[in-house]
Amino acid sequence: MTDPSAVFSATPSVETLLTHEGRSPDDQFGFVNTPVYRGSTVLFKTLDDIETQQQRYLYGRAGNPTTESVETVVNALEGGFKTKLVPSGLAAITIALLACLKTGDEVLISDSAYEPGRVFADGFLTQMGISARYYDPRIGAGIAELMQPNTKAVLAESPGSLTFEIQDIPAIAAAAHTHGARLIVDNSWASPLYHQPLKLGADIVVHAGTKMFVGHSDALAGTITTTEEAWADVARVRALLGFFTSGDDAYLVGRGLKTLAIRMAAHQQRALEIATWLEQQSEVVEVIHPALPSHPDHALWKRDFTGSGSLFAFVLAPAPRASVAAFVDNMRLFSMGYSWGGYESLCLPVKPGKARTITPWTHEGNLFRVHIGLEGVDDLKRDLAEGFARYAQAR
């Protein structure tokens, strides 16, 4: 890859970085994009080369120019020591946890964390003799009272991807470090454009690159970015587990990153407009979006974030399942799906109470998580308004 210092005479804007970082046309016969590298076998010219292992690429599983181009961009965005591309967001979480923990250790996990990560902790980690406890995502500096001598990692997700609590990352990082633990932060919602946990004290940042990085709902990917101190453990675990992202998927991540700044700005503007509009609708009991002044963590969001994502939630007045079905089954533009971050809008009924152990979900109404895509805002409002009418009629 081209040395960034040779490309930029001053600190570049995010837009410029996304456009130029991680690609070297001179190394690719002038082609503007790093092509898809597919392959397992890498050839060595001499016995010295294979014995010294100093060649840039040794074997396909260790990476290639396509995967490296993505890692270079994400690392620059996060301000990390190094970044590794892995097959999914869940893979990023599991590698990060295993890099910090061994038998007899404990991990503290936000009660609002991504549910598959909880399943991994409660199942696989428990089988390894590693215990997992959950904490209130709004605990802040109070997490120090939960730390034990064997607590070696804290897993935070800010905001939580179902109920959108903002966490006090600097306070949690300080408590973790005081007690000899590392802080892992899932930064998928805001992306490094709008939130940089490493600068706030985190040791490891993970992303479901499937979401905002890819941006087109056509590939799975995850990234892990670390401080210099945490890198060796993450690199070791990733290599031992054999997690590798194909050149084809890496190319799709790299393609998505080129437009990340433009897409994030568009998603943010549309999501905020619709969230504000939803607060005025009679069927809506609450809108849960950290960038709204009505959100209980809005001040914390303003302190630590420079923008907001496409994903938020709202609560509709209590109604039976028939009303929920009438609302979502007949949407024209919104679809139901577990992911988010693509060009298409999604609306998913969710029940966070199933995955809570410390902070019960007590709202009486029905919760819906929405991802605002790139359709016309008025068209999306119309689709929701028609859905609210069906919801009320079926009550």
Is pLDDT above 60 for 66? yes
Range with the lowest mean pLDDT among 62-71, 128-137, 198-207, 288-297?
62-71
| pLDDT, position 393 | 96
What phi, psi does 74 have (nearest 5°)?
Answer: -65, -40
Whole-number Cα distances in Å, 44 to 38, 128, 262, 373: 17, 39, 42, 47
Question: Which long-range contacts link 119-128 to residues 24+ away (Cβ below 8 Å)?
Answer: 120/90, 120/93, 120/94, 121/97, 121/155, 124/94, 125/97, 125/101, 128/101, 128/103
Distance (Å, rounded) from C-alpha 86 to C-alpha 183? 20
- 285-308 CB burial, b ≥16 within 10 A, e <16: bbbbbbbbeebebeebbeebbebb
Do the Cβ atoms of 204 and 225 come closer than 8 Å?
Answer: yes
Strand partners, 26: none
- When pLDDT is averaged across residues 292-305 and rounded to a whole number, the result is 98
Q: Among 254, 227, 236, 192, which residue's Cα sits nearest to residue 82? A: 227
- Tens digit of each residue's pLDDT (9 = 90 or more) over 282-296: 999 999 999 999 999
| pLDDT, position 1 | 47
- Tens digit of each residue's pLDDT (9 = 90 or more) over 212-238: 999 999 999 999 999 999 999 999 999
Contacts of 9 (CB under 8 A, 6+ apart): none
Residue with tokens 């973790």: 176
| pLDDT, position 28 | 80
3-state SS, residue 67: helix
Q: Among 208, 87, 226, which residue's Cα sits nearest to residue 157? A: 208
Tokens, residue 137: 């995502």
Range with the lowest mean pLDDT among 133-137, 311-315, 331-335, 355-359?
355-359
Residue with tokens 């693509």: 342
- When pLDDT is averaged across residues 193-213 and rounded to a whole number, the result is 98
Tokens, residue 231: 């890198």
- When pLDDT is averaged across residues 263-274 and rounded to a whole number, the result is 98
Do the Cβ atoms of 165 and 137 come closer than 8 Å?
Answer: yes
Tokens, residue 290: 């950290």
* Residue 106 DSSP symbol: E
3-state SS, residue 151: strand
- Tens digit of each residue's pLDDT (9 = 90 or more) over 26-38: 788 788 888 888 9
> Which domains occur in the chain, in start order?
4-258 (3.40.640.10), 260-394 (3.90.1150.10)
Strand partners, 154: 108, 183
More confident call, 204 vs 4: 204
List active site positions: 61, 114, 186, 211
In degrees, rounded to 5, the angle at the alpha carbon of residue 332 between the alpha carbons of residues 326 and 338 is 75
- When pLDDT is averaged across residues 117-126 and rounded to a whole number, the result is 95
Tokens, residue 92: 């990023």
Distance (Å, rounded) from C-alpha 113 to C-alpha 295? 19
Do the Cβ atoms of 60 and 41 come closer than 8 Å?
Answer: yes
- When pLDDT is averaged across residues 258-282 and rounded to a whole number, the result is 97
Q: Among 206, 229, 223, 196, which residue's Cα sits nearest to residue 22? A: 223
Is pLDDT above 50 for 356? yes
Tokens, residue 234: 């993450």
Range with the lowest mean pLDDT among 61-65, 182-186, 207-211?
61-65
Distance (Å, rounded) from C-alpha 328 to C-alpha 92? 32
Average pLDDT, the chain: 94
| pLDDT, position 20 | 83
| pLDDT, position 353 | 82
With bands split at pLDDT 50, 70 and 90, how would you rate the model's confidence at 11? confident
- When pLDDT is averaged across residues 113-131 and rounded to a whole number, the result is 95
